[in-house]
Structure 1
Amino acid sequence: MTGYESYNDQELTELLRLGDRTAFGEIYARHIAYLYRFAFHIIRDEEECTDAIQDVFTWFWENREKLHITNLKAYLTAAVKYKLTRVIVASKRKEAIFCREIPVEVMSQSDDLAVKELRTVINDFVQTLPPRAKEIYLLSREQFFSNKEIAARLGISEKTVENQMTITLRKLRVYLGKLSFWSIFYKIFPAAWGIAPLNVPNNV
């Protein structure tokens, strides 16, 4: 017993960011069984599941200071899922894996968690924007105003709106790229967010 069992995930994440190895161990112990079951439902190979999860936790520790997490289980689930995406694409068994029926509750739950966590990551980024850039982004992406409508509303040129959005989306791609597996989510589902695919690092 380390005494860390009483900490919630948010408290453990904050300790992890400070380099607390015991907190990291507790996070691993708390979530490893669920993550393995989740991975095995998808890929049905013990060694590949174990390797994928170990890679995720290695990345998780090495990048602990950069993490922006509000739901740890969602974050880890999404990381494992998109690590498995790489494994499946490279696998000789990919046709068999894709053809096998994966329980709907497994995929729908993980997708829902991933989207919620991604929205939180994006919201964190938006809060760092200058006031005018933030206002333009929110009008465009959350209220679905056209560039012309935003320009009229704010009393600026349509070209200014376009330039501001280009700069903001470029910054967002860089921001997500630093968080590694979220950039994979954007690469796979860019249309859902109105953002061009990213150049994704291979060391997820």
Structure 2
Amino acid sequence: MNMIDAGAAEDAVLWQAVQQDDRTAFRTLFDRYGGSLFHTANYTLRDKEASETIVHDIFLNLWTGRHTLDIRHFRQYILTAARYHVYKALKSRKALNLLHGTAGDMEPISPLTVNGGEAKVAEQSMRDSLRQQLNALPKRCREIFLMSREQHLSNQEIAERLNISKRSVENQITYALQHLRVHLKHYSLIALLWWGI
């Protein structure tokens, strides 16, 4: 790199050099973040090969898109990319594991933090799947579940409104939750946060 100490250079300076086809700068960024991205992905996926592929794909996309990518905060960008790739891997194999932590100084990965259009697509997909599975529930079961989750009524309040026992309400909610858990495995974290599933 011309006039730049790669080891001490800030990410923004290194990325600008990468955009000028500087392979040394690119290698520095890879050395700086590749290991952490791998450990973060592997912490969630427990799959070394898949985690290595994710890191490879992220940096391959960076290199091939170096002339067109507008990256203002490099670390944030690759963290988001890692989150998205891990989310896709979890979704594709319909993993049941929730994302619980972080490796090193990296932030925990969460499907909810995928940025921009990707987040909107993922959110809409989740909403569509959730609505489809809610519609598959028996009418009374769906009604009780929505009163609980959307209107935030207690089981006792639902029982009084529908003139049924509190136990019946609890049974219907339990049935709905079991149904959704089975059919929304790949959205488990989102469902958990939004619906208490």
Conserved in 2, the CA contact under 8 Å of 1:17 and 1:65?
A: yes
The alignment's C-alpha RMSD in Å is: 3.1
* Matching residue within 55, 59, 82 for 1:53: 55
CA shift at 1:110, angstroms?
4.5
CA distance in 2, matches of 1:47, 1:105: 19
Alignment gaps of 5+ in structure 2: 126-197
Residue identity matched to 1:184 = E
Equivalence for 1:122: none
Contact 2:19 2:66 in 1 (8 A): yes
In structure 2, the residue matched to 1:7 is 9
Number of corresponding residues = 121
Q: Which has the larger radius of gyration?
A: 2
- In structure 2, do the counterparts of structure 1 residues 6 and 24 end up closer, same or farther at CA, with 3 Å as the change threshold? same
Pairing of 1:152-167 with structure 2 (within 5 A) = none
The CA distance in 2 between the partners of 1:53 and 1:105, in whole Å, is: 16
Quick check: 2:100–2:108 contact (8 Å CA) kept in 1?
no
2:32 maps to what in 1?
Answer: 30
Correspondent of 1:184 among 118, 130, 133: 118
SS at match of 1:38: helix
CA deviation string 1:66-98 (max 9, x = no partner): 22222211111111111122222222xx3xx32
| Aligned-partner Cα distance in 2 for 1:69–1:32 | 17
Q: In structure 1, give the amino acid aligned to 2:118.
A: I
Q: Distance in 1 between matches of 2:73 and 2:65?
A: 17
Q: Quick check: 1:36–1:53 contact (8 Å CA) kept in 2? A: yes
Residue number in structure 2 paired with 1:83: 85
In percent, how many aligned pairs have the same letter?
21
Letter in 2 for 1:38: T
Q: Determine which structure has the larger helix proportion and give its number.
A: 1
Equivalent position amino acid for 2:35 in 1: A
The normalised TM-score by structure 2 is 0.52
Among 65, 68, 89, the alignment partner of 2:67 is 65
Unpaired runs of 5+ residues, structure 1, are 119-181, 192-204
